Amino acid sequence: MVIVREGILVAIEKQLISLGFDDTLRISKRPLEKGILRQNDDYDEILNADILDIFVDWDFEKDNSIITLILKPKN
């Protein structure tokens, strides 16, 4: 499953990007967002599937992110 989110950056993130810290921001955000996604058990029930893996990446210029969930349907 692929999820596209738009308008995700807050002011401090935009400032870090404008100062050239986009790689640092990307490295910092990845484990935080993956952790938040994994903490929420509702996804398993809503999707009727187990989440095997999560990938997150950002396009800072377009102010969006893409989340890819690798799912295993429940029987």
Domain-wise residue ranges, the chain? 2-73
pLDDT of residue 21: 97
Decide which of 37 and 26 is more confident. Answer: 26
pLDDT of residue 10: 96
- The pLDDT tens digits for 28-47 are 999 999 898 888 778 878 88
The sign of the CA dihedral 35, 44, 55, 11 is negative
Q: What is the mean pLDDT of residues 65-71?
A: 95
On average, the pLDDT of the chain sits at: 92
**Residues 55/45/41/2 CA torsion (nearest 10 deg):** 20
Inter-helix orientation angle 11-18/22-39, to 10°: 150
Question: What's the pTM value of the predicted model, to 2 decimals?
Answer: 0.82
- Judge whether 63 and 72 are in contact, CB under 8 Å: no
pLDDT of residue 30: 93
